[in-house]
Homo-oligomer: A and B are copies of this chain.
Amino acid sequence: MGEFETVKDQLKKRFHERGAWGLTTSINLKKCNPATIRDAEAIKKYVRELCDLIGMKRYGETVVVNFGEEERVSGFSMTQLIETSLISGHFANASNSVFIDVFSCKWFDPDVVEEFTRKFFEAENSNAKTVIRSEEWFEEAVEFKKGVSTALQVQKKLHSEKSKYQQIDVYETVAFGKMFSLDGVIMVTEADEFCYHEMISHPALCTHPNPRSVLIVGAGDGGVVREVLKHPEVEGIELCEIDEKVIEISKKFFPHVSKDLGNPKVKIVVQDAIEYIKEKHKEYDVIIVDSTDPVGPAEGLFKRDFFINCEKALKDEGILVTQAESFFYDPQFISGIFEKTRGIFPVMKYYYTMIPTYASGTIGFTFCSKKHDPEKDLHEERARKLQDLKYYSTGIHRAAFVMPVFTKKFFK
């Protein structure tokens, strides 16, 4: 065997280095021996042998009690105090499943516990999850593509509130600095927000020949405002954000993102953009829709009517850019957008940015234009003059419209 670090080595190191208080291993066993899980003496024997195996000192008796009221949940429950905490178990007769938890302040080997437990109860299969008690992890809500999630280790939860529209949480993360989530979905992290904010802003502004008037929808954090203001041609920005709490939170926790919200060129409108846009006619050169995912408050921003109203609100050379999800996880959504908005804008394209904390590591945008083509009409000189960029360049502008082969069918 090689002299390298295994997953368990890493866990053990984290446990010892970070002054963890304890360790919990939760084991699920399926299709166990029905006789064993119905035998209180066998369960007690399991506890004795397990404690001997991992060097835990039992404290008091093993408690084994039977619940029988409801068929679905009937079976034994077991608890055994140990000198460094607790071993507990639940034995589900209906499915012959076993659920064991070992919580200990003293290090033990989770693999040894799982293997012994699986063999003892003769389970057909098992899985185990071990967590270090005292470590906190944020796990992104599993929304579009059920079954995949990004987990970020958290140093501290800084803020939590329910606004009129959504659940807002702010965390200090280990790897990405401060992060805020809406309804459990990662929105902004200090470390990678530039990937998103530069790429939702500059392709449109560098394609439009003279962007003076810009409407930004959503984006109450201020990131898009900051990028748009890098273009000296821009004379006025309206920011239409439905949830003023997002603005507040960003001002308080994300000064580098929100720093230009007070710029005199910026007018903040706290309102539903779906209503706001209805009254606008040929007012803007560029509209940027920095929405959340197309569920909840942002749903209407992905409907045909909204695209029609944006077209009307744009001047004759106008450009609309909207957040449009990941081509890895949301192909049907993307196809849907392209189908249902057909014919509204003469030029309609899709482009992407890479961003590690967003699901799949990439997110895309629709580029809807009345006249100018982002792949032909890039204003190279203006783009090259932009300051303080960490992602966007003229090369990236062109590359971002080149799609992997499998995505081509989404954009018909």
Closest to A360 in B: B356
Contact with B along A317-349 (1 / 0, CB 8 A): 000000000101100000000000000000000
Which B residues are CB-close (under 8 A) to A136?
A: 28, 127, 129
Are A134 and B28 CB-contacts (below 8 A) given A7-B184, A79-B79, A156-B125? yes
Closest to A95 in B: B21
User: Within the complex, which residue of B24, B358, B359, B406 is in contact with A390, where a contact is CB–CB below 8 Å?
Assistant: B406
**8 Å CB interface, A113-138 against B:** 125, 127, 129, 131, 133-134, 136-137
Q: How far is the CA of A299 from the CA of B3 in the complex (A)?
A: 11
Which B residues are CB-close (under 8 A) to A299?
A: 4
Which B residues are CB-close (under 8 A) to A192?
A: 328
**Does A145 sit within 8 A of B, measured CB to CB?**
yes
Contact present for A354 and B105 (CB under 8 Å):
no
Q: How far is the CA of A134 from the CA of B392 in the complex (A)?
A: 45
**Does A161 sit within 8 A of B, measured CB to CB?**
no
Are A151 and B150 CB-contacts (below 8 A) given A97-B134, A329-B356? yes
Contact present for B7 and A141 (CB under 8 Å):
yes
Q: How far is the CA of A65 from the CA of B61 in the complex (A)?
A: 13
Contact present for B81 and A77 (CB under 8 Å):
yes
Are A148 and B142 CB-contacts (below 8 A) given A362-B354, A362-B361? no
**Does A282 sit within 8 A of B, measured CB to CB?**
no
Chain B interface: which of A164-172, A214-222, A226-234, A302-310?
A164-172
Are A148 and B154 CB-contacts (below 8 A) given A5-B295, A390-B404? no
Contact present for A90 and B295 (CB under 8 Å):
no
Which B residues are CB-close (under 8 A) to A296?
A: 2, 4-5
Are A97 and B21 CB-contacts (below 8 A) given A149-B151, A406-B390? yes
Q: How far is the CA of A146 from the CA of B101 in the complex (A)?
A: 26
Size bracket, chain A contacts: 35 or more
Are A166 and B2 CB-contacts (below 8 A) given A73-B105, A149-B151? yes
Closest to A125 in B: B157
Closest to A162 in B: B1
Which B residues are CB-close (under 8 A) to A101?
A: 24, 101, 103
Which B residues are CB-close (under 8 A) to A297?
A: 2, 4
Which B residues are CB-close (under 8 A) to A271?
A: none
Which B residues are CB-close (under 8 A) to A4?
A: 166, 183, 295-297, 299
**Does A43 sit within 8 A of B, measured CB to CB?**
no
Are A67 and B59 CB-contacts (below 8 A) given A2-B296, A99-B133, A145-B175? yes
**Does A210 sit within 8 A of B, measured CB to CB?**
no
Are A2 and B151 CB-contacts (below 8 A) given A65-B59, A396-B405? no
**Does A286 sit within 8 A of B, measured CB to CB?**
no
**Does A26 sit within 8 A of B, measured CB to CB?**
yes
Instruction: Specify which of A72, A164, A356 lies most central, judged by the most chain B CB atoms within 10 Å of its CB.
Output: A356
Which B residues are CB-close (under 8 A) to A28?
A: 133-134, 136
Are A146 and B154 CB-contacts (below 8 A) given A7-B183, A65-B60? no
**8 Å CB interface, A92-108 against B:** 92, 95, 97, 99, 101, 103, 105-106
Which B residues are CB-close (under 8 A) to A36?
A: none
**Does A264 sit within 8 A of B, measured CB to CB?**
no
Instruction: Output the least CB separation between A58 and chain B (Å).
Output: 12
**Does A275 sit within 8 A of B, measured CB to CB?**
no
A-B pairs with the 5 shortest C-beta distances? A361-B361, A147-B174, A4-B296, A7-B184, A147-B153
Q: 26 A–B contact pairs at CB < 8 A?
A: A2-B165, A4-B183, A4-B299, A21-B92, A24-B26, A28-B136, A79-B79, A79-B81, A79-B86, A86-B88, A86-B90, A90-B105, A129-B131, A148-B174, A151-B151, A194-B406, A354-B354, A356-B359, A356-B360, A360-B361, A362-B362, A390-B405, A391-B405, A393-B404, A398-B399, A398-B402
